[in-house]
Structure 1
Amino acid sequence: MGGPRRCSFLFLLQVLGIFLILLEAGSQKTSDCARWCPLNSTCVNATACRCSPGFSSSSGVIFTSLLESCDDINECGPLSAVSCGKFADCQNTEGSYYCTCIPGYELASGARMFKNESENTCQDVDECQQKPRICKSRGICTNTQGSYTCECPPGLQLNPGDPNLCTDVNECTSGQNPCHSSTHCLNNIGGYKCRCRPGWKPIPGSPDGPNNTICEDVDECSSEQPMCHESTICINTVGSYKCRCRRGWELKPGFQNKQPNTTCEEMSFPIWTPPPGKKTPSMSHFFERVQHLRRAFKPALAPDTTKDLIQLMDTMLETPRDLETLSLTERHCMATDYLLGLETVLRMLAKAMPGASFTYVSPSDTELSLMIQEHGDGDGNITIGQSHARMLLNWDVATGARDSGPTVMGILSSWNMRNLLANASLKLETEKKVELSKIHQSTVHGAQAEIVSAVSLVFLSNTNTEKLDSPVTFSHRVNPQQEETPGPRQELICAFWKSDNRSGHWATTGCRTLGTRNGSTTCQCNHLSSFAILMAHYDIEDPKLALITKVGLAVSLVCLLLCILTFLLVRPIQGSRTTVHLHLCICLFVGSAIFLAGIENKEGSIQKVGLRCRLVAGLLHYFFLAAFCFMSLEGVELYFLVVRVFQGQGLSKWQLCLIGYGVPLLIVGVSAAVKSDGYGRNNYCWLNPEGGFLWSFVGPVTLIVLCNAVIFVTTVWKLTQKFSEINPDLKKLKKARVLTITAMAQLFVLGCTWGFGFFLFNPQSWLLSYTFTILNCLQGLFLFVLHCLLNKKVREEYRRWAGRVTGNKYSEFTTSTTGTSHNQTQAHKPSESGM
């Protein structure tokens, strides 16, 4: 419905537009100029426009399109025909251009611009004539064509931030010092000077200040005016000097050594007081003489004082009997304090010594070697040696960190020092015990030590020697009398004396043995102390030997108990000889039981021998001596029976007991009173062999065995004579012969057993240890066989007892009858009982 109306409306609009266009065209024709010309153009006619001079459109100068515009023409462009001429530049402007001279040139007329090449009069400008000067700070200007350069005079340089400015060059801070090393470089503007350093002066012919100045050191110490305090020595150094304390002098509090103001005072002898505890006469005399040396000491007397001190030490240590009055604990406490005090005094005396070395050998072959260098003068490794020991170490190790005096190293080697340190215990490292256990395939309880070299006391200026930066190497000469090849349980080791709660012991921690050659043993340690070479006797438990000992002693105890019961209960054999056998077995039984239960020293150190171990050693000493005494009494009884055949000449029972138990009690009492610390050893509760104390057992035993041997020889000789008589009593002689053979066999077994037993406590005696153990096992068994099983009366009594147990009446009746007849006969002959 609305479609025809809409089409009619659109048609009317088109007609209206065409009408308006025609109307506008009619009006232009009437004016003849285009009113739509763009900027920078003029109207040519009603349909065309013209661009102004210096402008153009894309269609040319005249254009008719309503879309055209007039743009500026770049007369200075590359395709332009405009030329400004030489030394000029073209400058484009809006609709035009102009020419200017390039920098460094200007027009002869002084104008700033021109229009074309014909007007070009550009010429070079001399910048060096400008005011103010273009090159600043003494810069030299040089004109160039169209420009200039600035150069600086010597000692100046162009500033990187301003090429027209010259700045100063600091020759003294450059990489290469222009002055001689003996001078100071002093910079100034445009140059420098060379001045002598403090403590230097120009060499003859050389002025002070020019660039070629050369200087030499001034020896302040040679000047007439003293530079150092009178207590010090002036030491010239390069360009300066220093003052150090004189030998025998030490710094005053508040001063430092080797400074221009160093001030010192004389050294004083250190206060050395006796160690606490018991004092021996020789020790008291020693410290009295030391106090006398201290009161009379002057630094200039240091060499003589040192010699006197060593001789006093030898005098004290050469009296071992005096030292033996002290217990081991007291002696080793004294040794620890004594060594510390001796080290302090020797270090002080060494610092007061003149010269660089000192050596002294006393009449007792105690040797002291010293090396002294001023602090800081020593360098590298140094060897200090003597006939007993040598030491290799570094000077830096010897120098104390805070010590300002001379650097000192010294070795004091003394054979007499062994008397003071004898019988000291040796503590092995855990690693060493493990190593020995693997080698010997058995547990290592410890070691006994024997000193086989001189004891060397090593001291340095450096007192902090528990852990050294570099190890120290020692070489000790072994005593030729003790130079022997170590056994299977022995070893030469390097040990040092270690203080332990004011006491001390030998230790090996931090030291290792490098080897032995040509009678010298070489060691290496990372600390310092008193050193010696020890022959270590390792206490290594033999499991087989321990088993044999325990089983054998158990069998021996059973047999001895049977012997005791037999001697007490079998009446037909009662008599004086049976009494001797009874108490012999009792002593052996008690001694073996104590041996089995308490022979080992559980505390494991000679310095820790307690009351229990001493008591065990004393009881073993007593009961084994008693056993030998009763064995000697059996020899006496045999002597009375065979040699002196009259009745009533034998000893009574109370006399036998008094002698058998009284004599050993007397020996043990005297031994304990003379040397109580002789009871107890390093690992065993037995007599200590040191000082000959073992002879308190070996002596009586040897005497008894020899006396019994003489008695038996005499008895055999007498029996031989009686057998050769015309009408001998053969029955009685045969009984005496049996008695003699039995006693001799008993003496042989017991004597041989203890003859081997003397060596039981020597750890390296393998064969003797096994022999003693086996014989000790047979000891009780042999006595049981010899005195019980081989005795006819005892066997009959055993049969009778066996019959009672089994109920055999016939055997009991036979044995009783036989026993009764024997008892009746024996009642009239008590001296022949048991035969």
Structure 2
Amino acid sequence: MRGSSLLPGLCFLLSLSGVVAQKTKGTCTRCPQNAFCVNATHCTCNHGYNSESREKYFTYRFETCEDIDECKPPTSIHCGVNAECQNTIGSFHCHCVAGYKLLSGKAQFSNSNENTCQKITPSKTTNSTKEMQRIIETIESLLTNKTVLEEKRNITSTVTDILQTVESDVLNTALKAPDQEIQKVQKSTVAVETRVVTDNCSKEVTFSLNAQVNSMEIHCKDVIQGNIQGASAVAFISYSSLGNIINATFFEEMNEKDQVYLKSQVVSAAIGPRKNTPLSQPVILSFQHMKVKPGVKNFCVYWKGTKEGGRWSKDGCALRQENETHTICSSTHLSSFAVLMALHGQEEDPALTVITYVGLSLSLLCLLLAALTFLLCKAIQNTSTSLHLQLSLCLFLAHLLFLTAIDRTENKVLCAVIAGALHYLYLASFTWMLLEGLHLFLTARNLAVVNYSSVNRLMKWLMFPVGYGVPAVIVAISAASRPHLYGTPDRCWLHLDQKFIWAFLGPVCAIICVNFVFFLMVFWILKRKLSSLNSEVSTIRNIKMLTFKATAQLFILGCTWFLGLLQVGPAARVMAYLFTIINSLQGVFIFLVYCLLSQQVQKWFGEIIKSKSESEAYTLSSRFGPDSKPSEVK
């Protein structure tokens, strides 16, 4: 995991070693959507957007850039007579009102200076246009009536029928008025342009049709389909709200790990009177992006009618060109089309991955050795050792489960169980860290006798109910309230939705803060003790060892986790490496501080080595003693 903000930076906390450094691009990566960086210090919204705070330049990371509706006050773009303004995401355009058209035949223009809207010739033209307007108004009312759509059992089947009906009605209306070569009708959410051909393609080779902010190019011969005796027509329809109904969740190649979204309006293309005929060359479709998001993969799709209703499919569609604002597609057949975008998964740094697994494997070995030492070395067995042992066991099981099962996302139920187990084990580890801090503080208060009886009684009473009971209560409440948020598509861990991750982050942050308070209180107590001492060597030695353990305790059991907060800006990569190395080696630090640097453990290790050496020497002496006879060589 890598993160470009505070919460992703804390994600190492969540999975202990799943953080991977973000390939930072300076402070520009911290600007919100629809904004860009200025002088590497401030952000400003793109043209056509305003910041929520209405400040032109800002540094607040949670600022948002909202679309400016140029067609409403205070901007109120004036398009001229017989024209009206149409707002789009990040921009706007002007178009002639119904019954008028531009002299150029274009569908839209930018300002009143380009207004050449003229009234369309009456008679058959008026009747045809009215019929086209009636069709558009009907489909608009149907698509905006959520109650009617929700009553349908199969929404995709309903939408498929609607699309086919609109295409047929629009084509039939256009063919009824062959003397009107071009018809354009636009309402608030639906726009249509039709082109009638009666001259066997003698004027133009390729037709360009526009509807709202999208366009289509089709070869004239594909429109007439060899029909040289009668009229043929092509229709291009754009729906600005249909994408809310048949969104990216209906993409047939989508799986749970994909993050796919609709990026454009839905358009339809059809030819008549004959339909579903093959094209001699691909039709070209140009889409303006409704969502401008860099670093995503765009692909072209069409609405594929099926027995079940319909799905988005890539068959026969190809992406030809793309930039920040537009995507150009080609298709070998006519249907309804759109552009989907897939968010790029965060790329993992191979070096950090290696460090994570090597560090955790080494920690597993050291935690196992530490647990065996705490169990077998009788010289150090006391309340403090019991705390070290439980901490080591919890961390060992958590690391082992993380290494072997964090990516087992195939089975949802199993993944949720793994996520719950990791949640419990890591919370238990932090709870034992808290008990370590509490015991250190109580020991400092009773420095004259390290294993002071009241301290032991209190810790023995608190240890197991708190160490294993408190995490169990937290996990039980979390699982009961939101069981579906255990397990993500990528990892068996807590989901970030609904702020569920705070079921882990909240207790962890509280424990780290409390341990830091314990640390400060220990140092204050030790300083006061030192000033009141005479020159007792044993007491001074105890104080030095306790001071060292207090420093190591804070470093091991808390402070290093806050490196995750520093994974922002230019130093994010360095912080991620430090964070991963230090925290993945936590088991090594525990074994080093509590075992290898303990004089009692060193003495115990020495006795084991000495007894083993004496045993080997005895075996050799008994085998080659003074009474033994060497074998004779024959």
Q: TM tier, shorter chain?
A: 0.5 to 0.7
For the residue of structure 1 that corresponds to 2:454, the secondary structure is coil
- Code of the aligned partner of 1:384: N
Is residue 574 of structure 2 the alignment partner of residue 794 of structure 1?
no
- Which residue in 2 is equivalent to 1:744? 554
Is residue 343 of structure 2 the alignment partner of residue 536 of structure 1?
yes
Is residue 382 of structure 2 the alignment partner of residue 382 of structure 1?
no
After superposition, the Cα gap between the structure-2 partners of 1:526 and 1:419, relative to the gap in structure 1 and judged at 3 Å, is: closer
CA drift of 1:598 comes to 1.9
The answer to whether the 8 Å contact 1:426/1:447 transfers is: no
- Distance in 1 (CA, whole Å) between partners of 2:444 and 2:232 is 88
Could you say which structure has the greater relative contact order, defined with CA pairs below 8 angstroms and 6 or more residues apart? 2
- Which residue in 1 is equivalent to 2:287? 475
- Distance in 2 (CA, whole Å) between partners of 1:546 and 1:464 is 52
After superposition, the Cα gap between the structure-2 partners of 1:507 and 1:624, relative to the gap in structure 1 and judged at 3 Å, is: farther
CA drift of 1:562 comes to 0.7
The answer to whether the 8 Å contact 1:375/1:406 transfers is: yes
Match of 1:703 among 493, 510, 515: 510
- Which residue in 1 is equivalent to 2:106? none
Deviations 1:425-478 (A, max 9, x none): 9669xxxxxxxxxxxxxxxxx975354x64533334478599995133233326
Q: Which protein shows a greater Rg?
A: 1
- Distance in 1 (CA, whole Å) between partners of 2:446 and 2:210 is 77
After superposition, the Cα gap between the structure-2 partners of 1:582 and 1:479, relative to the gap in structure 1 and judged at 3 Å, is: same
For the residue of structure 2 that corresponds to 1:807, the secondary structure is helix
- Which residue in 1 is equivalent to 2:192? 370
- Which residue in 1 is equivalent to 2:454? 648
- Which residue in 2 is equivalent to 1:668? 475
Is residue 439 of structure 2 the alignment partner of residue 630 of structure 1?
no
Deviations 1:745-798 (A, max 9, x none): 212475258769x99xxxxx9777755553454222222112211222222222
- Which residue in 2 is equivalent to 1:82? none
Deviations 1:83-113 (A, max 9, x none): xxxxxxxxxxxxxxxxxxxxxxxxxxxxxxx
Match of 1:459 among 250, 262, 268: 268
Deviations 1:581-629 (A, max 9, x none): 22222122112212222222464xxxxx533333323322222222222
For the residue of structure 2 that corresponds to 1:493, the secondary structure is strand
The answer to whether the 8 Å contact 1:577/1:637 transfers is: yes
The answer to whether the 8 Å contact 1:336/1:502 transfers is: no
The answer to whether the 8 Å contact 1:374/1:405 transfers is: yes
The answer to whether the 8 Å contact 1:632/1:704 transfers is: yes
Q: TM-score, normalised by structure 1?
A: 0.46
- Distance in 1 (CA, whole Å) between partners of 2:547 and 2:278 is 74
The answer to whether the 8 Å contact 1:594/1:620 transfers is: yes
CA drift of 1:739 comes to 3.0
Q: What pairs up with 1:751-766 in 2 under 5 angstroms?
A: 751=561
- Distance in 2 (CA, whole Å) between partners of 1:687 and 1:585 is 23
- Code of the aligned partner of 2:552: T
- Distance in 2 (CA, whole Å) between partners of 1:610 and 1:791 is 46
Match of 2:386 among 563, 579, 582: 579
Moved more, 515-524 or 584-593: 515-524
- Distance in 2 (CA, whole Å) between partners of 1:418 and 1:769 is 42
- Which residue in 2 is equivalent to 1:588? 395
For the residue of structure 2 that corresponds to 1:624, the secondary structure is helix
After superposition, the Cα gap between the structure-2 partners of 1:641 and 1:598, relative to the gap in structure 1 and judged at 3 Å, is: same
- Which residue in 1 is equivalent to 2:28? none
After superposition, the Cα gap between the structure-2 partners of 1:412 and 1:498, relative to the gap in structure 1 and judged at 3 Å, is: closer
After superposition, the Cα gap between the structure-2 partners of 1:503 and 1:673, relative to the gap in structure 1 and judged at 3 Å, is: farther
The answer to whether the 8 Å contact 1:561/1:589 transfers is: yes
For the residue of structure 2 that corresponds to 1:684, the secondary structure is coil
- Which residue in 2 is equivalent to 1:348? 165
Is residue 259 of structure 2 the alignment partner of residue 449 of structure 1?
yes
CA drift of 1:561 comes to 0.8
- Code of the aligned partner of 1:593: L
CA drift of 1:413 comes to 3.5
- Which residue in 2 is equivalent to 1:410? 237
Q: What pairs up with 1:269-668 in 2 under 5 angstroms?
A: 302-313=135-146, 338-348=155-165, 356-361=183-188, 367-372=189-194, 380-387=206-213, 389-393=214-218, 408-414=235-241, 417=244, 421=248, 448-449=258-259, 451=261, 454-461=263-270, 470-477=282-289, 479-480=291-292, 482=293, 484=294, 486=295, 491-496=296-301, 510-517=316-323, 519-526=325-332, 531-538=338-345, 547-601=354-408, 603=410, 609-642=411-444, 648=454, 651-653=458-460, 655-668=462-475
- Distance in 2 (CA, whole Å) between partners of 1:654 and 1:466 is 81
After superposition, the Cα gap between the structure-2 partners of 1:424 and 1:383, relative to the gap in structure 1 and judged at 3 Å, is: closer
- Which residue in 2 is equivalent to 1:240? none
CA drift of 1:740 comes to 1.3
CA drift of 1:537 comes to 1.8
Is residue 526 of structure 2 the alignment partner of residue 719 of structure 1?
yes
The answer to whether the 8 Å contact 1:497/1:506 transfers is: yes
- The unaligned stretches of length 5 or more in structure 2 are 1-122, 175-182, 618-634
- Distance in 2 (CA, whole Å) between partners of 1:423 and 1:374 is 34
- The unaligned stretches of length 5 or more in structure 1 are 1-233, 237-243, 249-298, 318-333, 362-366, 429-445, 604-608, 760-764, 811-835
Moved more, 301-310 or 656-665: 301-310
Q: What pairs up with 1:31-42 in 2 under 5 angstroms?
A: none
- Which residue in 2 is equivalent to 1:12? none
- Code of the aligned partner of 2:553: A
Deviations 1:313-344 (A, max 9, x none): 59999xxxxxxxxxxxxxxxx99954453343
- Code of the aligned partner of 2:433: M
The answer to whether the 8 Å contact 1:712/1:744 transfers is: yes
For the residue of structure 1 that corresponds to 2:402, the secondary structure is helix
- Code of the aligned partner of 2:436: E
The answer to whether the 8 Å contact 1:382/1:394 transfers is: no
Q: What pairs up with 1:43-58 in 2 under 5 angstroms?
A: none
- Distance in 1 (CA, whole Å) between partners of 2:246 and 2:462 is 45
- Distance in 2 (CA, whole Å) between partners of 1:766 and 1:509 is 41
For the residue of structure 2 that corresponds to 1:479, the secondary structure is coil
After superposition, the Cα gap between the structure-2 partners of 1:710 and 1:804, relative to the gap in structure 1 and judged at 3 Å, is: same
The answer to whether the 8 Å contact 2:444/2:525 transfers is: yes
The answer to whether the 8 Å contact 1:373/1:407 transfers is: yes
For the residue of structure 2 that corresponds to 1:648, the secondary structure is helix
Q: What pairs up with 1:125-144 in 2 under 5 angstroms?
A: none
CA drift of 1:677 comes to 3.4
For the residue of structure 2 that corresponds to 1:384, the secondary structure is strand
The answer to whether the 8 Å contact 1:426/1:505 transfers is: no
The answer to whether the 8 Å contact 1:622/1:668 transfers is: yes
- Distance in 1 (CA, whole Å) between partners of 2:379 and 2:169 is 90
The answer to whether the 8 Å contact 1:447/1:537 transfers is: no
- Distance in 2 (CA, whole Å) between partners of 1:736 and 1:637 is 12
More helix by percentage: 2
The answer to whether the 8 Å contact 1:588/1:627 transfers is: yes
For the residue of structure 2 that corresponds to 1:738, the secondary structure is helix
Query: What RMSD over aligned residues (CA atoms) do the two structures have, in Å?
Result: 5.1
After superposition, the Cα gap between the structure-2 partners of 1:548 and 1:346, relative to the gap in structure 1 and judged at 3 Å, is: same
Deviations 1:504-538 (A, max 9, x none): 99875654444443533444444655533425325
Moved more, 684-693 or 618-627: 684-693
- Distance in 1 (CA, whole Å) between partners of 2:337 and 2:475 is 38
CA drift of 1:390 comes to 4.7
- Which residue in 1 is equivalent to 2:47? none
- Distance in 1 (CA, whole Å) between partners of 2:422 and 2:152 is 32
- Code of the aligned partner of 2:283: P
The answer to whether the 8 Å contact 1:343/1:457 transfers is: no
The answer to whether the 8 Å contact 1:384/1:390 transfers is: yes
CA drift of 1:547 comes to 4.6
After superposition, the Cα gap between the structure-2 partners of 1:673 and 1:456, relative to the gap in structure 1 and judged at 3 Å, is: farther
- Which residue in 2 is equivalent to 1:111? none
For the residue of structure 1 that corresponds to 2:488, the secondary structure is coil
Deviations 1:646-680 (A, max 9, x none): 86357434632222223333333333334333333
For the residue of structure 2 that corresponds to 1:411, the secondary structure is strand
